[in-house]
Amino acid sequence: MAGTNTVLGAVSVFNSTATQIYITVNNGADRFLIFPAATATDWMPSAVRPPLSLCSYPAPGVIGVGPNYVSITPATAPGIANATIVVPTSVQTGDALQLYLAAESSDANMWMLLCNGEPVAGSVHIE
């Protein structure tokens, strides 16, 4: 894609399972560790290591406006759950994105994307 990939903000990630998960974004080299929010008393999202950025278009290691390919690996289960998370073009600089993930296995996973607290996209996969 031509042009500079502008950072629009950060993505808060919630892991609603009881175990930690790892995600990779758009085939990037970074493997993001997401601790479970379910084990915290306040259900706050954990700090994503390294931080996950929202950019003007998808690229390896960042979430961008448009389709993003995310692989979710539960720490305690075999297999990888793959999801295509589409960030709508209505997202702008300064918007707050929240990504809720739940992946017990490659056969049972879900995600929900919120922008400023409003649901904008999501998917549930159960086999």
pLDDT in tens, 5-53: 898 988 888 888 888 888 999 999 988 888 887 666 666 666 666 678 8
Q: Write out pLDDT tens, residues 75-97.
A: 877 677 888 999 999 988 888 89
Beta strands in 1-127 (DSSP E): 7-15, 21-25, 32-34, 53-55, 63-64, 66-74, 81-87, 97-105, 108-115, 118-126
Residue 2, domain member (yes or no): no
Residue 84, domain member (yes or no): yes
Residue 59, domain member (yes or no): yes
- Domain limits at 75? 7-119
Domain count, the chain: 1
Cβ contact 51:11 at 8 Å: no
Residue 59's pLDDT band (boundaries 50, 70, 90)?
very high
